[in-house]
A and B are shown apart, each in its own frame.
Chain A
């Protein structure tokens, strides 16, 4: 079990270290690593990914949490031992960020007024706006896969529009939209 913890630590530390640029880049890294080590089958991995995407939290970290537990459980660990392994996986995937943020963030705070930094970020900002829009479009297409006007689609469209208006007007928190969606989910879906 000690060896397993060590291997899990190294594996997820490596995944955290080589994840760059976000999106689902980390997911394919985790997938390659799990299949290469024989820790999970592809079907098990896709199952876990679905849950990690549905659960709140960063998808890469969620995947690490779940995979850590599953791998330990499959090797015969009890519930608490498996949870401990899962905690190790979670923390080791976030550990590389501490170093990157400490040095990268410090450098940025000292140099943010330099012309070259200002110009790089003047280009990065619209780029990131494009990424956020793209993530929104992708999710919208998943939620409304085809044009239909059933009760469910209309209710979803209402929740969608209300939350969008909350963000556009900036007067109220978008959390009210998420709460409305949760209530609708329990009552209607």
Chain B
């Protein structure tokens, strides 16, 4: 793995960057992509936007929580197994502290007023961030009306029926393999 790792990035800075991402990761794994784009691509320039998107897609194919898988894939790319551990521990560090504090307080009081207010206020921002990110991603991933319609159709089906996403992913892998086989038979290997 070390052959394709950056060596200039310190394990500590990987941990700090992913701790920052974990601290503002609100609304589930899919909210992670805009945060990675901001911290890893735009600010640190540790990876390209395409690499991040590919790792995020690959994360869905591997067992485990998507945000953790993505963090580990990026960390792994930067510093091998140590980068992997630093990134994943970074992502869970702040949430663990918050949940731990909340769990201890849970028996005494059943509310957490200030934190709840902050979280209520942040939710519309996360919603806007994710919709805009979906738009940015589809602009990059597809060309033309049909591609955009494909993205919108996927989104509509997921919103309306909430099917297991792994079925889509397995279908996409199968379709890619069939597409490749057809292309190879026609003679255009790449």
Contact = CB atoms under 8 A, between A and B. Distances in A.
B176 to A, nearest CB: 3
Contact of B63 (A20, A119, A124, A181): A20
B65 A121 contact: no
A90 B96 contact: yes
B128 A124 contact: no
Given A56-B25, A164-B128, A22 B134 contact: no
Interface residues of A, number: 104
A186 interface: yes
Contact of B65 (A19, A79, A182, A188): A19
Interface string B29-72: 11101110010001100000000011111111111111111001
A117 B34 CA distance: 24
A181 B62 contact: no
Report whether over half of chain A's contact residues are helix, strand or loop; otherwise say mixed. helix
Nearest to B61: A104
B98 interface: yes
Contact of A17 (B56, B63, B88, B159): B63
B180 A115 contact: yes
B130 interface: yes
Interface of B: 1, 4, 22-31, 33-35, 38, 42-43, 53-69, 72-73, 76-77, 81, 84-85, 88, 91-92, 94-96, 98-100, 102-104, 106-107, 114, 116-138, 140-142, 147, 150-156, 158-159, 162, 164-169, 172-173, 175-177, 179-180, 183-184, 189-190
